[in-house]
Amino acid sequence: MILLSVNHLSKTFGGLKAVSDVNMELKIGELVGLIGPNGAGKTTLFNLLTGVYKPTDGDIVLRRETIVGLKPHQINQKGIARTFQNIRLFSNLTVMDNVKIAYHQHRSYNMLSAILRLPSYFHGEEEMDKKAERLLEIFKLGHKKDELAKNLPYGEQRRLEIARALAAQPQLLLLDEPAAGMNPQETAELMEMIRWVRKEFDLTILLIEHDMSLVMGICERIYVLDYGQIIAEGTPEQIKSNPKVIEAYLGEDVTHAHG
């Protein structure tokens, strides 16, 4: 079953077509890669999917319902969460609070209960604390829950960002270069974590990544974007041997991309 379909999507800034007539489909439970040279339009596409930008043309349909025109928080509530190329945590809040913020949109109490400090407020907060702690344990951050986010090492900040995205209880998770700045060991661990998260949380994942070993190792299908257009789509094997893709992006070193 199709979770998300992107139909003839375009975005123009002034005279520049950042995304041009893009068509994509994501099936429920798939792990799909989005690759291409710098400036190909990958992050612009993520910004369109999450409501940061409004498309110039085309449609984005999530579970048979258009999401074009909705604000980012509304799209998030409908089930799309993302991480960013440059980590965007609330750096002066604790690790725990970073995750709890994402849970708040699913809170079981209303604003009045919070203002009047009614029992439903305390019960709801306790429930959120438990959920947040469980999520932090999964991401091996439980022992750091009271630390400020900015004091975590880089790899742990990445994990916290993914944990926070999952706290929004999405069906589709968009990961924007999650391995950026990681060493090979951290990348290998991240790869395992993405696989596990997809299975455990029953997610569909779309991943932008430059690390070819990661993309080829975990993605079932890959879309290739160049100058804002999809130039290829297929399995890792098909993409590796596609002459158009080799010319536009992968170069001769594609034969060394393992996985």
SS3 sequence, the chain? CEEEEEEEEEEEECCEEEEEEEEEEEECCCEEEEECCCCCCHHHHHHHHCCCCCCCEEEEEECCEECCCCCHHHHHHCCEEECCCCCCCCCCCEHHHHHHHHHHHHCCCCHHHHHHCCHHHHHHHHHHHHHHHHHHHHCCCHHHCCCEHHHCCHHHHHHHHHHHHHHCCCCEEEEECCCCCCCHHHHHHHHHHHHHHHHHCCCEEEEECCCHHHHHHHCCEEEEEECCEEEEEECHHHHHCCHHHHHHHHCHHHHHCCC
Mean of per-residue pLDDT scores for the chain: 87
Mean pLDDT of 194-207: 91
CA distance 51 to 149: 26
Label residue 258 by pLDDT band (50, 70, 90).
very low
Question: For position 128, what pLDDT does the model report?
Answer: 74
Give the chain's domains with CATH numbers.
20-79+170-259 (3.40.50.300), 90-153 (no CATH)
The answer to whether 146 and 129 have CB atoms below 8 angstroms apart is no
The predicted model scores a pTM of 0.84
Label residue 253 by pLDDT band (50, 70, 90).
very low
Taking only the tens place, the pLDDT of each residue in 134-167 is 889 988 899 999 999 999 988 889 889 889 888 8
Amino acid identity at 193: M
